[in-house]
Amino acid sequence: MSAGVWKEQVADKRKRQQEAIPPEWRYIDLPSNDQLNVLDVPATCGLLTPLELEITNVSDVSVLLKQLASAQWSSVQVTTAFCKRAVIAHQLTNCLTEIFLARALDRAAELDEYLKQHGTVMGPLHGLPISLKDQFCVKGLETVMGYAAWIGKVAAENAVLVDLLLDCGAVLYVRTNLPQTLMWAETNNNVFGRTVNPYNRNFAAGGSSGGEGSLIAMHGSILGAATDVAGSIRIPAHFCGIYGFKPSAHRIPSYGISDALDGQDSIPTCIGPLSSSLSGLMVFFQAVLSKQPWRRDPRTLNKPWDQDAYMLKGQNEGEQLCFGLLWNEGTITPTPPVNRALEQTKAALEKAGHIVINWEPFKHKEFYVNARAIWTSDGYADYRASVNTGEPLLHSMKPDADPSDVPPHRRPREPLSSFDVWQLNKERRELRKAHLDYWESSITRTGTGRPVDALICPGGPYPAVPHGHARPSFYTWMWNSLDYPVLAIPVTKVDASQDVKPPPHKFLSADDEGVYQLYDPVLFDGLPVGIQVMCPTQHEEMLLAIGKIVDKSLHDIGKQ
């Protein structure tokens, strides 16, 4: 197919996307491109009523669900408010792909009628608008996933998770942008374009769930479903100042989604939520498990919600936990605001009576090398098959990138044989066992009679970065390879007066030097900074409880 044809398809797709926005919502009083921080625009643009602002300014998902269940706010009111605010967010950050507002409002009206007739909610997410990353197939809608060749690919069925959310009473209204091939820490593709960070539109929103990150940061959604195979939930959460949760593989069903590297199951894609509140992550996880997802997806574990684990029965009910704190994974030195976030977290936990010990990186480079070899074992066959209409593969996220310049880390490798992949799987198995032993050995240092209860590490070595400057996601993909559940928790924001640039240090790598040169406290001022908190595989309930303790400790010492 000629370049002209795929570009015509893209133009038509963008036209249809624009037409999905009600005309009276399209041309609101938007700021010029010179206004970099656009978080206050929804309150000043004139599109939202006072009630709609009140509704969408709620951050705590549990509070909004109570308002819906008590009929203080109808689902139509709440859905209308979030539809309008999502459209505002999109016009400012380019965060949406599919926009299906009429369908959402019809669904909301049905839910209001159900509540009126039955006097009770349809399910634990009754009336709640939930956004979806553009991988979650919705019957009757295209699932483009950032590829021009997939324009016109209409889903015949819902993904399993979509059906479960509907069974829980949710309202689905928009899907969100992601990068071509998914395997980027920034969001840009040839179909929908680049998603920007609402804190500073010259900076990345993260990837691959960058559309969700920007939308939720703008309060155009309070809860969204996303995916994570190397950091795709946690990087946008870190960059955009929101909460994210990557469970272990196969706790939340993935059947029926569209995916890159589909069939690569050595390091599986994990499904999880992003939200403006920690309560949103828990509500999502509990709601999905309540519908017995293992009866819909053969790979989903038959593992109902474990209340004893959430009550930390095996951790002295949360009294004096011990945390391992990883300051530096040995490849890229964290920037000053990231170090300050770690220091603030350590001080908050110690003030709350917990123990924090230093955690040395363990075989991180070996995990990275193994994971990269697994992900590229097809020699980029998956990527080439997805751009079979003449659309070029993106080799950089820089706005001024030369399309013909392919950096070393994006150059195709020779495909590996099945036998070679088996050897990588064996290597990963041994690495996971070695890390488990290392974790267990910490029992000699904790003083609690247990190994560390959780690890804490940076959300990344830097806050959000200017477009095209994200480095490989060393601080996130380690935990995918280990299959650890991980929470992303916002902690603070860059403060130029505190987070001054230190003198040059002995650089650990070329990426380390690049990050040092990139960081400018004045340029980065005001950007969010977060942490990751993780537990061993399949300990999601325990992690959510520990995350609540961490978050509360931070709030108690005056979280910014």
What secondary structure does DSSP assign to 264-308, as a single string?
A: --SS--EEEEEESSHHHHHHHHHHHHHT-GGGT-TTS------HH
Read off the pLDDT band of 560 (50, 70, 90): very low
Q: Which two tokens stand for residue 107?
A: 């669904």
> Is residue 254 reached through a cis peptide bond, with omega within 30 degrees of 0 on the bond before it?
no
The C-alpha atoms of residue 337 and residue 332 are separated, in whole angstroms, by: 14
- Specify the pLDDT at position 419: 98
Mean residue pLDDT across the chain: 96
pLDDT at 296 over 90: yes
Known binding residue 229? Answer is yes
Known binding residue 208? Answer is yes
Known binding residue 232? Answer is yes
- Specify the pLDDT at position 2: 60
Q: Which of 74, 75, 208, 276 is catalytic?
A: 208
- 336-351 vs 540-556: helix axis angle to the nearest 10? 90
pLDDT at 409 over 90: no
Which letter does DSSP use for residue 547 in this model?
A: H
pLDDT at 135 over 70: yes
- Catalytic site residue 232? yes
Read off the pLDDT band of 387 (50, 70, 90): very high
Known binding residue 138? Answer is no
* Overall average pLDDT of the 413-439 stretch: 97
- Catalytic site residue 346? no
* Overall average pLDDT of the 368-389 stretch: 95
The C-alpha atoms of residue 357 and residue 438 are separated, in whole angstroms, by: 14
- Specify the pLDDT at position 210: 98
The CATH architecture of the domain made up of 310-364+421-559 is: Alpha-Beta Complex (3.90)
Which residue ranges make up each domain of the chain? Answer: 7-29+39-295, 310-364+421-559, 368-420
- Specify the pLDDT at position 404: 81
Look at strands 454-458 and 322-325 and give their pairing. parallel
Q: Which of 13, 59, 84, 133 is catalytic?
A: 133
Known binding residue 230? Answer is yes
Domains 7-29+39-295 and 310-364+421-559 share a fold: yes
pLDDT at 559 over 60: no
**Model confidence pLDDT, tens digit, residues 56-80:** 999 999 999 999 999 999 999 999 9
Superfamily per CATH, domain 7-29+39-295: Amidase signature (AS) domain (3.90.1300.10)
The helix/strand/coil state of 343 is: helix
- Specify the pLDDT at position 497: 98
Q: Which of 209, 221, 232, 258 is catalytic?
A: 232
- Specify the pLDDT at position 472: 84
